[in-house]
């Protein structure tokens, strides 16, 4: 090889190397750009709130794929039913930032596919009809706007972890409240979310609301109130603060948020609550803050939803987060997430000094009575009730009481009994409080959800003994609950057999149908499985017109039934689908059980001390 040709070869090799390095750098840069999440922003406006419409503009900026799929969630976490929010979307359009229209089509019920054609910024606009008032849906009226972002905002497929901003353009001089933090440079009406789980977990209220404020351990809290009512503002502020303080103490004293918002809506009727990471949405009838029993119901609602910030929002069941917003997220643990929260809603009130131990026990006895009068307790376990929430809990019908139980109601009872079992087995060194604190430390702090097995192991860890029999019978199984063997630890027993005179109550005639007076019509709403009405042919939706040949209303039917004895035969005349039918029914008998939880005779010192550690006060 000559010297000149050698220099030429070396130069060629150098050029090849430089080209390779350049190409490699370009590919690396492209990979970084592809991995970098797009910039996502939303603007929500309400120029004509009386039309119940919200206008949404969504901008996606960055290196976009040739096709971008935009997905609308079909459910809201905390409310376990597919609600098909996409059905309210209209006027969908897609274009580039310079106004060039882009092709799009729907590829399924809740996905809009946009042909981005190399655009660096996608601008989408659509309108959502918002006229369903609940804690999990959207309402816009000439008085206010309230919405859940999961029921309003689409997300780009594959970008649930991407950050975004939300700008709200209020109508007129309306104010804006949300638990989302203000975005940098957002001028007060733009908010930021580090991912879509947080965005979808942060409802928005816009209107002329009132605000009550307080602090706990230096952390600001506010109650945003939409509507008028017979509440006492200072009492509400003070008592909600007590609930926060008691719950924080129960969970170890740490407050896991920078601020907290209670959204309180006061319509003429209705109710409900939905938990969020650092806020909750509450609905309570405006004139039900009095008398005192009604006010305690309000406090229970507040306590329940607030406690969820630990039990479900941070201590998360296996399938509940990160979420799949396009389909059901099945779990067997709603009895823990909701039922045990229902137990603690009143325990927190007791510890806050807002409910007496006697009041709590009265409510527990009533809940037990209702469960024992539900035939569905033999058909569905707590785990089954949790798993089937998506198809059953929110879709009750006239047969639901015969075929299912509520993971809220039975879950609260079993939660109380589990607490007592842990206390008994550990000789009152531990309780269900410790189970929740353990799950918070060992699962939430370590970024792990928990399974049914994890929960049982945590309970057994605190009990210092196996609880397999308890979980097999009362959580996974459908056994009758042995209440008194568990209540005995705290010196209590469930009285279902005696009257106040100490004698057994006589049986009364029992028909076994739930009736309702609908104008001039006496309607059968449901029949109880195994009861005389059920076994002898009475159906839901029958219209009862006569008893023993005489026309009846609800009052006269119950009065005349009260004159009968178990075993008597009566003739029921009714309309079924406009056909006149007659049935001869042999009445059964039922003891009108009092269902009271009262102290055992001569409780021991250990029982007295155990009771005091559980509910405070004395037996």
Q: How many helices, marked H, and strands, marked E, lie in the chain?
A: 17, 29
pTM of the predicted protein model: 0.92
Indicate whether 30 pLDDT > 70. Answer: no
Q: Give the pLDDT confidence of 188-231 residue by residue, as tens digits.
A: 799 999 999 999 999 999 999 999 999 999 999 999 999 999 99
Pairing mode of beta strands 53-61, 569-576: unpaired
At 19, the pLDDT band (50, 70, 90 cuts) reads: very low
What is d(CA 513, CA 523) in angstroms, rounded to the nearest whole number?
10
Give me 227's structure tokens: 């509507």
Mean model confidence pLDDT for the chain: 93
Phi/psi of residue 135, nearest 5 degrees: -75, -15
pLDDT on residue 503: 64
Indicate whether 497 pLDDT > 60. Answer: yes
Beta bridge partners of 122: 60, 96
Who contacts 136 (Cβ-Cβ below 8 Å, separation ≥6)? 76, 78, 79, 83, 148, 151, 274
Question: For 139-148, what is the mean pLDDT?
Answer: 98
Q: Which residue has the higher pLDDT, 528 or 117?
A: 528
Three-state DSSP at 440 gives helix
| Nearest partner of 609 among 601, 617, 597, judged by Cα | 617
pLDDT on residue 535: 97
Indicate whether 54 pLDDT > 80. Answer: yes
Indicate whether 501 pLDDT > 60. Answer: no
pLDDT on residue 504: 66
Beta bridge partners of 19: none
Give me 595's structure tokens: 């269902």
Give me 187's structure tokens: 């001028």
Q: Give the pLDDT confidence of 161-184 residue by residue, as tens digits.
A: 999 999 999 999 999 999 999 998
Domains of the chain: 39-206 (2.60.40.3650), 210-290 (3.30.2010.30), 334-495 (1.10.390.10), 508-590 (2.30.42.10)
Indicate whether 326 pLDDT > 70. Answer: yes
At 187, the pLDDT band (50, 70, 90 cuts) reads: low
What length is written for the chain?
Answer: 619
Give the side-chain half-sphere CA count within 13 A for 258. Answer: 4
């Amino acid at each position: 090889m000559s010297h000149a040709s050698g220099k030429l070869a070396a130069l060629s090799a150098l050029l090849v190397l430089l080209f390779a390095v350049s190409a490699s750098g370009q590919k690396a840069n492209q990979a970084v750009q592809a991995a970098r999440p797009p910039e996502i922003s939303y603007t929500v406006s309400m120029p004509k709130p009386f039309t119940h419409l919200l206008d949404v503009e969504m901008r996606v900026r960055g290196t976009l794929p040739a096709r971008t799929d935009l997905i609308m969630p079909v459910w809201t976490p905390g409310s376990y039913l597919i609600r098909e929010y996409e059905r309210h979307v209209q006027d969908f359009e897609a274009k580039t930032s310079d106004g060039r229209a882009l092709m799009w089509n729907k590829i399924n019920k809740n996905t809009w596919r946009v042909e981005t054609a190399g655009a660096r910024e996608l601008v989408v606009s659509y309108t959502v009809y918002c006229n369903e008032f609940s804690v999990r849906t959207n309402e816009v009226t000439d008085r206010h706007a309230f919405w859940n972002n999961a029921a309003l905002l689409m997300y780009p497929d594959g970008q649930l972890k991407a950050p975004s901003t939300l700008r709200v353009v209020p109508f007129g001089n309306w104010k804006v409240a949300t638990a989302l933090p203000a975005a940098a440079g957002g001028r007060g009406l733009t908010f930021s979310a580090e991912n879509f789980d947080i965005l979808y977990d942060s409802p928005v209220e816009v209107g002329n609301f009132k605000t009550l404020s307080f602090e706990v351990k230096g952390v600001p809290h506010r109650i945003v109130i939409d509507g008028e009512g017979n509440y006492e503002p200072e009492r509400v502020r003070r008592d909600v603060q007590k609930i926060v303080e008691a719950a924080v103490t129960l969970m170890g004293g740490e407050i896991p948020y920078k601020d907290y918002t209670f959204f309180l809506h006061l319509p003429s009727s209705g109710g409900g609550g939905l938990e969020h990471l650092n806020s909750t949405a509450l609905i309570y009838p405006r004139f039900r803050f009095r008398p005192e029993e009604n006010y305690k119901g309000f406090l229970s609602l507040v306590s329940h939803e607030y406690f969820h910030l630990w039990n479900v929002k941070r201590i998360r069941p296996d399938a509940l987060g990160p979420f799949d917003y396009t389909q059901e997220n099945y779990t067997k643990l709603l009895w823990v997430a909701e039922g045990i929260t229902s137990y603690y809603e009143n325990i927190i009130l007791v510890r806050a000094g807002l409910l007496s131990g006697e009041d709590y026990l009265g409510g527990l006895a009533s809940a037990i009575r209702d469960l024992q009068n539900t035939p569905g307790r033999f058909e569905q376990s707590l785990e089954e009730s949790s798993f089937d929430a998506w198809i059953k809990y929110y879709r009750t019908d006239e047969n639901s009481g015969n075929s299912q139980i509520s993971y809220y109601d039975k879950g609260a009872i079993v939660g109380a009994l589990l607490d007592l079992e842990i206390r008994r087995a550990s000789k009152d060194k531990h309780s269900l409080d410790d189970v929740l604190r353990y799950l918070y430390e060992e699962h939430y702090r370590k970024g792990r959800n928990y399974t049914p097995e994890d929960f049982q192991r945590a309970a057994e860890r605190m009990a210092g003994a196996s609880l397999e029999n308890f979980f097999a019978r009362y959580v996974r199984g459908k056994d009758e609950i042995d209440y008194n063997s568990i209540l005995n630890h705290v010196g209590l027993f469930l009285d279902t057999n005696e009257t106040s005179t100490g004698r057994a109550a006589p049986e009364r005639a029992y028909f076994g149908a739930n009736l309702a007076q609908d104008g001039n019509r006496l309607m059968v709403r449901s029949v109880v499985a195994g009861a005389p009405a059920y076994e002898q042919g009475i159906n839901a939706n029958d219209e009862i017109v006569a008893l023993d040949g005489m026309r009846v209303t609800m009052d006269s039917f119950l009065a005349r039934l009260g004159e009968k004895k178990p075993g008597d035969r009566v003739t029921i005349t009714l309309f079924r689908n406009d056909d006149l039918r007659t049935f001869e029914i042999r009445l059964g008998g039922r003891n009108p059980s009092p269902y009271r939880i009262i102290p055992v005779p001569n409780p021991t010192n250990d029982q007295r001390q155990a009771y005091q550690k559980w509910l405070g006060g004395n037996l």
